[in-house]
Structure 1
Amino acid sequence: MGFAAKSYCSLLCMLVLLTTICYSQDGYVSSRATYYGSPDCFETPTGACGYGEFGRKVNDANVAGVSMLYRNGSGCGACYQVRCKIPKICSHDGVKVVATDYGEGDGTEFILSSRAYARLAVPNAALELFPHDVVDVEYQRIPCRYPGYNLKLKVHEHSKFPVYMAVVVLYQAGIYDITAVEVWQADEQEWRCLRKSFGTVWDLPSPPSGPLTFKVQVSCNGGTKWVQMTNVVPSKWKAGVVYDTAIQLS
């Protein structure tokens, strides 16, 4: 178990670093969608991505649980344009959602929040849409945009100062997947890889003493780059606290 985790960490650390500019994919993909509260879905109330309350409120609560797009947590934080196909009920633009959870349904890719599901409809037609527990949709990935928000690093509530730390990256803009997280071990002058705990939660036992510098590896369309967050977490960090990085992905 320890050897496998160590090998996986080493593999991530040795990936070739490329700088890429990521744009929205062209074309829509056909699928189906339902909504939380529908009898046709199996939701994850605690949030499989590990975002907690952020996963319910981000993007004005237009969020979704996804199945295949979850990709073992790498798909957490991705943004999608979703639109349904019922004439006279569904709007042309549909809704922009953020994937913040894992969920399975009746052949569905998306389990939308009730707010997001309502926005699939044209004005004043949401009440006609909700009786359709499952609808045909088409979707495409789009850049996430958070005007006025920097990239943030949250110390997860499961953390226990100073012996165990877990972190979650919030407000990742653009079209990026977070594929690795490292922290600088100043006394040994080396970067330490964090283990993916679940969803988008990364952790390590016996974290270095602070202030802590992290870097995250982000990927898009096969290219990767590292984004460094210098001294972002103070020496006496606290579980549940969100720290601003003063930088943003684009």
Structure 2
Amino acid sequence: MIDATEPKAQVLVVDDDPRLRALLCGELGVEGYGVSEAVDGQSALIHLRAAPTDLILLDWTLPDFSGVEICRRMRSSGVFTPILMLTGRDEVRDRVEALDSGADDFLLKPFSIEELLARVRAQLRRAGYAQAAANRDRLELADLSVILSTRDVSRGGRPIQLSVREYDLLVCLLRRCNSVVDRESILREVWGENHFGDDNLLDVYIRYLRKKIEASGQPTLIQTVRGVGFMLREGETRS
């Protein structure tokens, strides 16, 4: 069991079987983990945008997307949280497909709770959870700081009030600071997989965000990469 003095590792259980989901959440909770749950892939993706997660237990068969497709979407959008795939598929080609899609481990149903917990511990060790736990609640670039658990945003110690969408957009870029994030990935992550609105909406919210986090006399933070997307990186001082 986890030492109560240490921060809890946060585990997301993604499974549409209510009985199995309740069993897994209960056992993980007893072991001292913080547990969240999702019934399908869309709910899982939304949760990952909103809350820090250290490990994902992901069922292969879901009502909307397969576990393999969810893995691919997470990895392509820059989410590298460890994934333990749960499945009844026992063919070698299935295991290869799961691992190639981005899963870190593969557990065949039915499984024992003891083995599942051992694999959970192994994945957290491998991901360096103990070292990362103290820092995973804070995202920073230069003098810009975001505390995920409280959604507090500040720059140079000055609190900044953001709307829900502005906050999600900032976190999306901040998680990949110094890297270009393409427009499609931003729209998918911030507005959802089924967003079919005006693409100019992103530019509108980028302007809103710039006004709030880039005051006169401060270095710019949001850089436009024309024809591709945006990147969070410290730039020249605004006049």
- TM-score of the superposed pair, with normalisation by structure 2: 0.26
Higher RCO, 1 vs 2 (CA within 8 Å, ≥6 residues apart)? 1
- TM-score of the superposed pair, with normalisation by structure 1: 0.26
Bigger helix share: 2
Bigger strand share: 1
